[in-house]
Amino acid sequence: MKILMVHKTHKGGVAVHVKEIIKELQKRGIEVKEITRNENLKLTSFLNSYFKMKSYFKKWDKEYDIIHTHDWSITYPAIKANIKNLVATFHGFPTSILATIFQNYCINKLNENAIVVSLQ
């Protein structure tokens, strides 16, 4: 099985979370690749990256059994690219009304494939 983990940056708590998931999956013999939008793809915002990310997801969908995204800004282009085996984790709370709208759209679209992690 091949899994692709896609998230925004190698910095911060989400990056630590992703690294721990990768480590555990690899212990089980699963092939996992990690790609960040900011560092690996050199795309730094949702507005600047949407169409490129959508294109990347169409390519990756053919290469990976599961694509696991972290954050609505990564997940939204994957949904619009019609990824078949998409799982998404949403960490914390959106930081704006627009982010809330996009995140809620993604959660509703993914239904049982959405994992919501928040601290209250």
List pLDDT tens digits, range 33-60: 999 999 999 998 898 899 999 999 999 9
Q: Which domains does the chain have, with CATH numbers?
A: 2-117 (3.40.50.2300)
Banded model confidence at residue 25, pLDDT cuts 50, 70, 90: very high
Show Cβ contacts of residue 53 under 8 Å, excluding neighbours closer than 6 positions. Answer: 37, 41, 43, 74, 77, 78
Which tens digit of pLDDT belongs to each residue from 99-120?
999 999 999 998 877 777 654 4
